[in-house]
Amino acid sequence: MNIKDIIEQKLADVILNVFQLKDIKLEIQENKTEFEGDFTIVTFPLVKQLKKNPESIGVELGEALTEQTELLESFNVVKGFLNVKVKNQFFVDNFKSIANQFDTVEKKNSTVMVEYSSPNTNKPLHLGHIRNNLLGFSVAQILKEAGYDVIKTQIINDRGIHICKSMLAWEKYGQGETPDATHTKGDKFVGNYYVKFDQEYKQEIAQLVAQGISEDQAKKEAPLMKEAQKMLLDWENGDEKVRNLWNEMNSWVYKGFNETYKRLGVDFDQVQYESNTYILGKDLIQEGLDKGVLYQKEDGSVWCDLTDEGLDQKLLLRSDGTSVYMTQDLGTAVERFKQNDIKKLIYTVGNEQDYHFQVLFKILGKLGYSWADQLYHLSYGMVELPNGKMKSREGTVVDADDLMQEMYAIAKSKAEELGKLENLTEEEKNANYENVGIGALKYFMLKVDPKKKMLFNPEESIDFNGNTGPFIQYTFARIQSLLAKANFEQKEIATVELNQSEKELIMQLANYKIVVEKAAEVLSPALVANYVYDLVKTYNSFYQSNPIMNQEDENVKQFRLSVSDLTAKTIKKSLHLLGIETVNRM
C-alpha cells in the first residue's frame, strides 16, 4: 500500500469519527505548491454537507489527523486546501514494504484469452501488424502481472481468394523457384507473388477495357481472376494438387512469420487456422433459427435482424449454403469457450473492424451465451509513416522485418557516434544495438493510447532524450554502473532523514502496482510506458540533487543505493511488461 492509500484510509476514519459521515472520499494530491507539505487534501466536498467554511473544515481535519493518527508531522490550511506533512518514518517504512513488491503476484484465479496478430498467409507482416502484435503481447504481460492466467492466441487466415492469388501467380510465373533457392524469407517470397498477381491482373483488365468492356465487367471477366476463383473451389473440394501446393506455400510463410515473431519478441500459447475454423458456426445457424433469433429468406440465406439494437440486418449464411466471416467468428468464439476455461476473451484488431465486433457480440448474446458480455474488442488506431499510407497489393507496405532492421541500423549508428561501447565484443555490441533499436520501436508504439491513430518516425524514436525507449534504457544502464562501482549489496535499511526528492521517488516507486492494476483494467500499455518515463525523470532529478558515491554518512549512502536499486528493478519490470529488454551499458 502506498502512502496516499494510507492517508485515504486514515482520513475516512477521521471523517467518520469527527463528522459522523460515511463513504466520503476526498481528493488527495501530491503537493506541487510552494506551501509546506507532502500532500494536499481538498476539503470543498464537505462544505455543503457540514454547512461550514472550507478553512474551518481543513483545520478540524488537520487537528483530528494529528491527534487520532501517528501520521502527521505538521499541517497548514490555505483557502480550504489542507496541506499535510507526513512523518519521515512513514516514507522509510513505505519504502521497506515496497522493496519486495516483485516477489509475489496476487493471483486472481481467472483466465483471460488475448488474440492478436492473426495475419493472412499471402504476405509478410507489416507496420500495422507490428502495432497489433506489440499491443496484444504487452496487454497479455500486464494481465499476467495483475494476477490473471493468460492464454495468448492467434487465428491465421490461411484460406480464401487472396491465398489462391499468390498460389496461382507462383504456379504461372514461378518456374519452380523456392525461398531457399532464391535466398528469400518465406513470407516475403509468397508476398512477392501476391503483388505479381495484382500486376498481371491489372494488365488483363486494361486490355479488356481497351476492347470496349466496362471496368467492372473486366474485373470479373479477367482470366486470372477466373482461374483464382476456380482454384478456390478446387481447394474447397479437396483437390490433391491444389492442397499440396497450398500446404507447401503456407509452410514457407509460417517459417518466415516465426522468424519475425522471434525478433519482435512475441509468442503464442495457441494457434488456430481458418482452414479448420471456417466451417464452425454453421451448426449455430440452426440453433439460432430454432430460437427465433435468426430468420431465413426465400432464397435460403440466413440473417440476424439487429435493427432494434441500432445496427443493421446481418447475413450469416449465403443462399448457396456457404458461411461468411461473421459465421466463422461466431463458431470460433464458441469453440474457444468450450475448449478453455476462460472468463474473458480480448480481440486485438484495428478500429476499422469496430462494427464487426459490435455485431458479433450482440449475436452471441442473442444466442444465449452468458459469456458474451465478457468479450472485448481492443480497438486500435492505424499506424502511418511520415510518407503516408500503405497498400499491400501494390507492394508499398512497410515490411516489419525491414523496419526492425532499420531500427537496428539507426541504433548502431547513434551508438558509434557516441562511442560508448568500445570495450564490448562485437557480439555484445550487436545485442546492444538490437535491444536499443527494437526497444525504441516498441516503446514508441506503446506509449500512445491504443485508440489513437499514430505516426511512427524511426529517427525520432531513437532519441536519447525525451519520452523514448533509449532514454529509459540509458537510465537503467546508468544505475547498473553506479551499483557496480559501489559494490552494492542489499542490507537492512536504517532510518534516515529524507529530503523532498527522495520522498517523491519513493512515492513514484510505490505507484507501480496501482499503475499495473489500472493498465490491466483499461487494457492500455500506454499507462505503463508513461509511468516508467515519469519514474525515470523523477530518478534523474533525485540523482542530480543527491550525492551518492561522495556521501559521507554511510546510512544515507546505503539508503540512496537501495532506492537506486529498486528504481532499476522497477524500470526493468515495467519495460518487461512492454516486451522491452534492458541493457547494462549504453
Q: What is the rounded average pLDDT of the residues 450-467?
A: 88
- Sign of torsion, CA 43 49 54 55? negative
The matching CATH number, chosen from 1.10.730.10, 3.40.640.10, 1.50.10.10, 3.40.50.300, for 432-577 is 1.10.730.10
CA distance 580 to 573: 9
Q: What is the pLDDT of residues 33-51, one digit of tens each?
A: 777 899 999 999 999 889 9
Domain ranges of the chain: 3-86, 282-322, 432-577
Q: Which CATH architecture has domain 3-86?
A: 2-Layer Sandwich (3.30)
Q: What is the rounded average pLDDT of the residues 235-262?
A: 96
Q: What is the largest CA-CA distance in the chain?
A: 95
Give the pTM.
0.92
Going by C-alpha positions, the residue among 132, 100, 143 that lies closest to residue 446 is 132
Q: What's the per-residue H, E or C state across 72-97?
A: EEEEEEECCEEEEEECHHHHHHHHHH
Average pLDDT for the chain: 93
Q: What is the pLDDT of residues 53-70, one digit of tens each?
A: 999 999 999 999 999 999
**Is-same-fold flag (3-86; 432-577)?**
no
Long-range contacts, stretch 97-104, CB < 8 angstroms, 24+ apart: 97/1, 98/2, 98/506, 98/509, 98/510, 98/512, 98/566, 99/493, 99/562, 99/566, 101/512, 101/513, 102/569, 102/573
Per the CB < 8 A criterion, the answer to whether 407 and 438 are in contact is yes
Q: What is the residue type of 60?
A: E
Q: What is the pLDDT of residues 472-494, one digit of tens each?
A: 999 999 999 999 999 999 888 88
pLDDT band at 518 (very low <50, low <70, confident <90, very high): very high
The share of the chain scoring above pLDDT 90, in percent, equals: 79
Choose the weakest-confidence range: 94-103, 151-160, 171-180, 341-350.
94-103
Write down the pLDDT at residue 100: 85
pLDDT band at 391 (very low <50, low <70, confident <90, very high): very low
Q: What is the rounded average pLDDT of the residues 457-462?
A: 86
DSSP string, 519-580: HHHHT-HHHHHHHHHHHHHHHHHHHHHS-STT---HHHHHHHHHHHHHHHHHHHHHHHHTT-
CA distance 505 to 186: 49
Q: What is the pLDDT of residues 192-210, one digit of tens each?
A: 999 999 999 999 999 999 9
pLDDT band at 325 (very low <50, low <70, confident <90, very high): confident
Q: What is the pLDDT of residues 522-581, one digit of tens each?
A: 999 999 999 999 999 999 999 999 999 999 999 999 999 999 999 999 999 999 999 999
Write down the pLDDT at residue 278: 82
- Sign of torsion, CA 400 405 410 411? positive
Write down the pLDDT at residue 383: 87
Residue 395 has pLDDT above 60, yes or no: no
